[in-house]
Amino acid sequence: MSEVSKSSSGNGFEPRIVGFFCNWCTYTAADLAGTSRLTYAPNVRVLRVMCSGRLDPQFILDAFRKGADGVLIGGCHPGDCHYQAGNHKALRRYTLLKRLLKTMGIEEERVRLEWISASEGDKVQRVINEMTEDIRRLGPLRLPPIPHAGRMPGEAVERVSSIGQETGL
């Protein structure tokens, strides 16, 4: 992922949000929102993944490290995942990651997981607008200085993995 550049409109803060959208549902819903001419905040940069279960916690930590203020994950509704249980895996990882982010001093509103089917273009609009507002209120993400910045995500992922092993996830 390339470095995300900071942007602002006037003196106001414009959050940069990275969206990891499942190809089969949320990505298609975002497309539908576009073709239906639903307008929503332009703050989300969408990355398509084949399933929300493909999301490695590393991707989210990398997004933050490279300048994102928030990360939005969109997946198929429970029971609708094209790979059976990918979204269940995504939910478990998301829950663990939020715990980890809290210990790092990162507000939990900065990561959001939503189930959005291909027909829910209006939900894409609502979720993006809500999240943009929430993060605008929080302000830019200011990660504390990290002595060995290059190693941070790896260490963090190890912590998520070790929590996962302890809890059997």
Which residue matches tokens 């905040």? 41
Closer to ligand FES by CB, 76 or 135: give it: 76
Closer to ligand FES by CB, 30 or 76: give it: 76
Q: Is 25 in the site for ligand FES (CB under 6 A)?
A: yes
Cβ at position 126, least distance to ligand FES in Å: 19
Of positions 19, 70, 86, 121, contacts ligand FES by CB under 6 A: 86
In the chain, the DSSP E strands lie at 8-9, 12-13, 17-22, 44-49, 70-75, 111-115
Amino acid residing at 79: G
Closer to ligand FES by CB, 25 or 135: give it: 25
- The full DSSP string for 139-169 is -S--PPP-TTGGGHHHHHHHHHHHHHHHHT-
CA–CA separation, 92 vs 99, rounded Å? 11
21 with 27: CB under 8 angstroms? yes
For helices 86-103 and 57-65, the axis angle rounded to 10 degrees is 40
48 with 102: CB under 8 angstroms? no
Cβ at position 21, least distance to ligand FES in Å: 9
Q: Is 19 in the site for ligand FES (CB under 6 A)?
A: no
Closer to ligand FES by CB, 81 or 160: give it: 81
8 bridge partner residues: 13
Q: What is the DSSP letter of 54?
A: G
Q: Is 13 in the site for ligand FES (CB under 6 A)?
A: no
Of positions 28, 43, 52, 125, contacts ligand FES by CB under 6 A: 52
Q: Is 87 in the site for ligand FES (CB under 6 A)?
A: yes
Of positions 15, 19, 53, 153, contacts ligand FES by CB under 6 A: 53
Closer to ligand FES by CB, 8 or 95: give it: 95
Contact positions vs ligand FES (CB under 6 A): 22, 24-25, 51-53, 75-76, 81-83, 86-87
